[in-house]
């Protein structure tokens, strides 16, 4: 006949928690990667993700406020997530039907 153990709910939780933590491998706490990058890192990040551009163009976009950036002292800093989101929003499909229709309508008006 198996032994019957009488315990309180708190003791049972402690026993189960200890058994589970002993069975699972220890994992170091996940460190969040630093999201802030410099201008040169932003250029490399954009190039790596298929959005090649130049320093001059980035400077022009930052001066007009068209690209998300911050300044730290006199240095430009960018957020990885924000710069990739911005780059994705700048792209458009190669064959946008609304743009083609608009172009055709303009062309038809000029030929009259």
Q: What is the pLDDT of residues 4-23, one digit of tens each?
A: 878 888 888 888 888 888 78
Q: Does the global pTM surpass 0.85? A: no
| 25 in any annotated domain | no
| 79 in any annotated domain | yes
- Which residues are bridge partners to 37 per DSSP? 78
| 56 in any annotated domain | yes
Ranges 25-34, 43-52, 64-73: which has the least confidence: 25-34
Count of other CB atoms within 10 angstroms of residue 42: 23
Beta strands in 27-85 (DSSP E): 36-38, 70-72, 75-79
| 63 in any annotated domain | yes
What is the domain count for the chain? Answer: 1
| 1 in any annotated domain | no
| 43 in any annotated domain | yes
* Residue 50: HSE in the Cβ half-sphere, 13 Å Cα cutoff: 4
* Gap between the Cα atoms of 81 and 89, Å rounded: 12
Residue 41 belongs to domain spanning = 36-91
């Amino acid at each position: 006949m198996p032994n019957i153990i009488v315990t309180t709910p708190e003791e049972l939780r402690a026993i189960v928690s200890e058994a589970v933590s002993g069975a699972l491998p220890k994992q170091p706490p996940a460190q969040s990667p630093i999201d802030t990058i410099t201008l040169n890192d932003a250029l490399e990040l954009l190039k790596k993700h298929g959005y090649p551009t130049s320093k001059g163009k980035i400077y022009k976009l930052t001066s007009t406020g068209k690209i998300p950036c911050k300044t730290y002292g006199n240095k430009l800093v960018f957020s990885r997530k924000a710069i990739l989101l911005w780059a994705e929003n700048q792209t458009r499909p190669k064959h946008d039907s609304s743009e083609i229709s608009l172009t055709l309508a303009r062309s038809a008006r000029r030929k009259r």
